[in-house]
Structure 1
Amino acid sequence: MMGLAGILLALGLLIFLAYRGVSILLLAPLMAMLAASFATSALLGLYTQVFMTSAGGFVISFFPLFLLGAIFGRLMDDSGAAKSIAAGLVARLGSGQSILAVVLACAILTYGGVSLFVVAFAIYPIAASLFREADIPKRLIPATIALGAFTFTMTALPGTPAIQNAIPMPYFGTTPFAAPGIGILAALVMFGAGQCWLMHRAARARVRGEGYGIHDDATATPNDAMRQRSAGEGYDLAEISTTDTVVAPVTAVPGFSLAVLPVVVVVAANYVFSGIVIPSWNIDYLSEPLYGAVGLSNVLGLWSIILALCTAILVLIALNWKRLASLRTSLDAGANASVLPIFNTASLVGFGAVVAALPAFAMLREVVLNLGGDNPLISLAIAVNILAGITGSASGGMSIALSTLGDTYLEMGHAAGIVPDALHRITAIATGGLDALPHNGAVVTLLAICGLTHRDSYGDLAMVAVIFPLVSLVVAIVAATMFGAF
């Protein structure tokens, strides 16, 4: 019981102190050692041989995705492509569809691999202008951005280069397009329910005579957010760092078609590389010890996303060569921005590995594995969701769950006749529920960008980013159980 108390105490302090602004880089190893101190005295051994080994393994596996994704997002921002996409959708849909225009703009950008935080900073000024013109309450802007950036494009749509879609691949031997039908079904539930909710809330506000309100619409800058974070106001340094750089001036924004083309390239190239090109290669050398003695399934998904992002970056640079006043500045900014997020997530993976090595974890493991009865999809979804909620991180919660229980769930899936593609998609969708609780760094940062508080906007944000994703998860589990992966 003392060991279990240590784990629960460490988890509680991790949530509380992370919300208060303490760096995950410091918190994760300290809390891991605190949990371990209740069960063993081998703290240094656990730190160097378990924590650091697991954290380092995560960096080795996924750093290229963080690096390329951050560079792509920076180039989309610095070239003006992100703003062009938002403006183009507004022009095509009309100002009367302000909510839909903002949701779709965020969705297109995040589906193409742009960091959701870059999207939030880029889209907020446009959203504020649209909502003011349409006299829609400003308090609905965070939920509108969250629906497009935090939900279905992050976890459900097949082919998304989001890290939440990449992490399950080496564990289950899948590709970014695993179980596309289940993903699309879940995405439609999230998008449809969220859009209906926001339209309903806007209509009710109109009936009550509530307009945009009196607000100072100056966008919170990344530097402001960093200073507030250091004062303990709850911003997520790992993610804000993606925009805390000098932005190269833009000479002229590209047209809508040119702006959206790199996003299309990411998804299309991802499909071509994973389904056609890479499987045709002779990769027998991978079976050698030098290359890890692995098979194609272990690397196919990661390789396809890496090549897709590289291709899209080259296309983006070629299309916007004259618009990028300082390509080196943009590349450096993107590269630098990738470091802190991956090390934060890796630290959470190390924390999970230490907890999993403790004797008390065996009891928790049995409880979690038995939650779904004969259906491992239910147990998997609950485990990922709870851990994502505890850590306030979708990727962190998923990484802990898979690093500790991934092999077990794969075996349970085989025994139950559930293919790895279904496990992959349910895992990804499950990260997008409880991760958006009030202490989540993305939530707090988005509210700061919009100049609003939890009291102003979290209720609607929770509906579109917590409740409806959980509903879609239930739908996806039922569909996967009844029809398998499709």
Structure 2
Amino acid sequence: MGVFGIILSLALLMYLAYRGITVLVLAPILALLAAFFSGGVALLPTYTEVFMVNLANYAKAYFPLFLLGAIFGKLMDETGAAKAIAHWIVEKVGKDRAILAIVLSCGVLTYGGVSLFVVAFAVYPLAAALFRETGTPKRLIPACIALGSFTFTMTALPGTPQIQNAIPIPFFKTDAYAAPILGIIAGILMFVLGTYWLQMRAKRFIANGEGYLPDGIVDETAAAAEAGLEKPLPSVGMAILPIIIVLVLNFFLSKIYFPGQEQALVPILEKYNTTPGKVIGIWSIIIALVVSILFIVVTNFKRINMMETINKGAYGSMLAILNTASEVGYGNVIAGLAAFAIIKEGILGIAPGNPLIGTAISVNVLAGITGSASGGMSIALGAMGETFYNLALQNGINPEVLHRITTLSCGGFDSLPHNGAVITLLGICGLNHKQSYADIGMVSVVIPVITTIVAIILGTMGIV
């Protein structure tokens, strides 16, 4: 009955989240449902001492990243920096390469730390104008944005400040630049395969007589979206400097400065029951984002309402962190049930000598069920992160490889149709699942899963 309760709980979480019910309500209720089926579990203590404690611990560890990332993204949006970068890339790549231009625009922005939601709002107006001008089918815009935002820059490229690349740091004692060669290979593979797929689809649609819009469909979102392109934009040099600051400062702090201070940090951190390996990566990203935010504020102080923009970014981070933290609380309740030991043994038994496979399966499945890359990863690592880490050491696998496989895995099944980012992206573009999800699914589910398999093979061979 315990296993049945867990399966029922997970199925309801996926279905009801897809129906639009917030996980803030679903997570505690369905966690307690699974506990009820397990029998002998006190429900109220489970809620207050397991669910809420783990929710709070997650918020403590990652709230600064959510907060600073949201503020940074909002500033890049309101100052016009995001649009300026996208315009420049389109100009350099050429309007005749519309798909490549939009993918690269999204990739540069997300690799620099701008949240995928901000990227979608910033790039869509440009994509709509560009695709209409070149006759490229509009139905491919969501997949282009998804490829540039949900895949190689979110999970593969070393140093990305996206939250998905930060979560494994304390579990595996790594940093944001873990397994750089493996990450670059995986990123290139996703980018090349995804771009090839979209260009092939565009040629097929155009050959069948489809233009920007299929016959009979009215583009109701175009005028409003393209109105935003008329606003004055900063120079591309000033627009891209904040991104350069984040990447360079993060690298310097995590690879040079803090490692050089590690011996001095040990006695200090012992008082807080932690180690340098667990916090250096997080500290580096926090400082890099703070410095970049200050740079944007100083250089754009008179251009926008700074207080209003920062407040909007801060408020926007609240729902994101609470949603993910609630999923983490849910996952830790499930992980503490006796029946979960059966499921855990089943996952570990798939490839007992290779923790990379167990990690990939558990993270992918949980990301798919929750519809969240960060949520699914956090649940899997909270339940089995220490086990995977110890198995990696026992089998001579570099923890950096484990880190990169974990991030790659969270970017696979997370983009199933019920994913909130997918639904939001389609809404921004004025399209529906029937029109665009097949291509979104190919570039953000199928190709990333194939890439993860390739990365596991390369990681097992010792490529770091």
TM-score by length of 1: 0.91
Give the aligned residue type for 1:278.
F
What is the match of residue 309 of structure 1? Answer: 289
In the TM superposition, residue 251 of structure 1 has moved relative to its aligned partner by 7.2
What is the match of residue 4 of structure 2? Answer: 5
Equivalent residues in 2 for 1:276-315, closer than 5 Å: 276-281=256-261, 282-289=264-271, 291-292=272-273, 294-315=274-295
* Alpha-carbon distance in 1 for matches of 2:231, 2:63: 32
In the TM superposition, residue 74 of structure 1 has moved relative to its aligned partner by 0.4
Give the aligned residue type for 1:252.
P
Give per-residue Cα distances to partners, 1:368-395, cap 9 Å, x unaligned.
1111231110111011000000000000
Contact persistence 1:221–1:449 (CA under 8 A): no
Tell me whether 1:196 sits opposite 2:196 in the alignment. Answer: yes
In the TM superposition, residue 208 of structure 1 has moved relative to its aligned partner by 1.5
In the TM superposition, residue 317 of structure 1 has moved relative to its aligned partner by 2.0
Contact persistence 1:254–1:320 (CA under 8 A): no
What is the match of residue 338 of structure 1? Answer: 317
In the TM superposition, residue 216 of structure 1 has moved relative to its aligned partner by 1.7
Give the aligned residue type for 2:270.
E
* Alpha-carbon distance in 1 for matches of 2:233, 2:170: 38
* Alpha-carbon distance in 2 for matches of 1:104, 1:285: 45
Contact persistence 1:75–1:331 (CA under 8 A): yes
Change (3 A) 1:85 1:481: same
Give the aligned residue type for 1:47.
Y
Tell me whether 1:215 sits opposite 2:218 in the alignment. Answer: yes
What is the match of residue 263 of structure 1? Answer: 243
Give the aligned residue type for 2:367.
A
* Alpha-carbon distance in 2 for matches of 1:302, 1:3: 37
Tell me whether 1:453 sits opposite 2:437 in the alignment. Answer: no
Unaligned runs of 5+ in 2: none
Equivalent residues in 2 for 1:6-405, closer than 5 Å: 6-39=5-38, 40-213=40-213, 214-218=217-221, 252-281=232-261, 282-289=264-271, 291-292=272-273, 294-324=274-304, 326-405=305-384
In the TM superposition, residue 34 of structure 1 has moved relative to its aligned partner by 0.5
In the TM superposition, residue 476 of structure 1 has moved relative to its aligned partner by 0.7
Contact persistence 2:154–2:165 (CA under 8 A): yes
Give the aligned residue type for 2:52.
M
Give the aligned residue type for 1:183.
G
Contact persistence 1:372–1:379 (CA under 8 A): yes
* Alpha-carbon distance in 1 for matches of 2:17, 2:223: 21
Give per-residue Cα distances to partners, 1:336-371, cap 9 Å, x unaligned.
111110011000000010001111001000001111
The alignment covers a number of residue pairs equal to 456
Contact persistence 1:436–1:466 (CA under 8 A): yes
Contact persistence 2:5–2:34 (CA under 8 A): yes
Change (3 A) 1:123 1:459: same
Contact persistence 1:124–1:219 (CA under 8 A): no
Equivalent residues in 2 for 1:424-463, closer than 5 Å: 424-463=403-442
Contact persistence 1:220–1:448 (CA under 8 A): no
Give the aligned residue type for 2:99.
I
In the TM superposition, residue 110 of structure 1 has moved relative to its aligned partner by 0.6
2:392 to 413, 434, 443: 413
In the TM superposition, residue 249 of structure 1 has moved relative to its aligned partner by 13
Q: Tell me the secondary structure at the aligned position of residue 38 of structure 1.
A: helix
RMSD: 1.7
* Alpha-carbon distance in 2 for matches of 1:298, 1:108: 28
In the TM superposition, residue 264 of structure 1 has moved relative to its aligned partner by 1.3
* Alpha-carbon distance in 2 for matches of 1:209, 1:364: 50
Give the aligned residue type for 2:385.
G
What is the match of residue 227 of structure 1? Answer: none
Q: Tell me the secondary structure at the aligned position of residue 455 of structure 1.
A: helix
TM-score by length of 2: 0.96
* Alpha-carbon distance in 2 for matches of 1:211, 1:218: 17
Give per-residue Cα distances to partners, 1:404-449, cap 9 Å, x unaligned.
0000001110111011111100000000110000110111111111
Contact persistence 1:392–1:439 (CA under 8 A): yes
* Alpha-carbon distance in 2 for matches of 1:72, 1:250: 23
In the TM superposition, residue 316 of structure 1 has moved relative to its aligned partner by 1.8
Change (3 A) 1:220 1:483: farther
Give the aligned residue type for 1:17.
L
Give the aligned residue type for 1:72.
F
Give per-residue Cα distances to partners, 1:67-94, cap 9 Å, x unaligned.
0000000000000001111111111112
Change (3 A) 1:449 1:219: farther
Q: Tell me the secondary structure at the aligned position of residue 322 of structure 1.
A: coil
Q: Tell me the secondary structure at the aligned position of residue 483 of structure 1.
A: coil
Change (3 A) 1:146 1:64: same
In the TM superposition, residue 288 of structure 1 has moved relative to its aligned partner by 3.3
Give the aligned residue type for 1:80.
G
